[in-house]
Amino acid sequence: MEWYIGDVKIPNQFVLAPMAGVCNEAFRLLCKEMGAGLIMAEMVSDKAIGFQNEKTLKMTKVNSLEHPISMQIFGADIESLVKAAKYIDEFSDADIIDINMGCPVNKVAKKAKAGSSLLLDPDKVYEVTKAVVEAVKKPVTVKIRIGWDENHINAVTNAKMIEKAGAKAITVHGRTRNQFYSGKANYDVIKEVVEAVKIPVVGNGDVVDIESAKRLLATGCKAIAIGRGSLGNPFIFRELTSYFLEGKEIARPSKEEIYNTIIRHHDMLKNLKGEHLAMLEMRNHTSWYLKGMPNSSQIRGQICRLTSFEEVKKVLKEYLDINE
């Protein structure tokens, strides 16, 4: 099941997709431990790197346990993107540099004219990719969406431009920019991209379990990137690797394992960011961990109002019936 991005060996087909505000070192390590073959860091701004923003530069640091890992940058100005890519090439231990051309949020796509707005101009897609590829030694990849809207579905054209520019792989999210995360991912277009280029294609969108992973892999994509399906569920990587690599279906995590994972996630975030920020982030993460459990909506709402993690632990123990 191993494959390569340039000279970087990826041990399996399951990739943690980059998610802003989520894919910090703590969450990445949890997913890595569960079996993710490649983990992607949350995107960083080329401008922020250029301005030597301390918080952003810290986000480019990599734990030695995370390899292989991809660092994602976004921007629209070629000179600024190249400068950021060169910084990561020289000062970050990341194995791969990824260019985000898929982010749909307004402040990136419209205000900054970056992310998915680039998809409207295949020539610029080529120019941006080529400039970054030629500026760095690390392999370069690009993440795109299938298009801007249903009238501008041009993933195949953009993918060919990206390949021509020298990128080593492409990730394709099966939605348009205007869909954001609504509706269903279009796997047919991902299949068309797979058939149009020779470099590896990573499919992305709507993978939440074994069956959905099967459907996306049926497009012929080399690997699948999992984003929202991993929120509160790093266990998905263990389940997929067990099934696809070993032919075994394993049980979902027990309440005890979910509880212990939440505690560990908090402790890792605390070490990374301090107690205050760890608590703020864990209110969201804990809600995701509990999503889908019986009568969890009230508990999730209660946790989001708490101000200390000791209070969160107390609520969790009672709800999950944990005895320590």
- Residue positions annotated with a catalytic role: 103
Instruction: With residue 281 as reference, give the H or E element that holds it.
Output: helix 275-290
Pairing of strands 96-101, 140-147: parallel
Strands 44-45 and 38-40: unpaired
21, amino acid identity: G
With CA atoms as reference, report the closest residue to 164 among 195, 114, 198, 200: 198
Closest CA to 35 of 61, 16, 19: 16
Closest CA to 239 of 36, 65, 18: 36
Q: Which residue type, as a one-letter code, is found at position 293?
A: M
- Work out the angle at residue 237's Cα, subtended by the Cα atoms of residues 233 and 241, and round it to the nearest 5 degrees: 150
Residue from 88, 94, 81, 99 nearest 167 by CA = 99
Whole-angstrom distance, CA of residue 271 vs CA of residue 273: 6
Question: How far apart, in whole angstroms, are the C-alpha atoms of residue 199 and residue 222?
Answer: 9
Cis peptide before 68 (omega within 30 of 0): yes
Residues 169 and 95 sit within 8 Å (Cβ to Cβ): no
**Burial class of residue 123, CB neighbours in 10 A (0-12, 13-18, 19+):** exposed
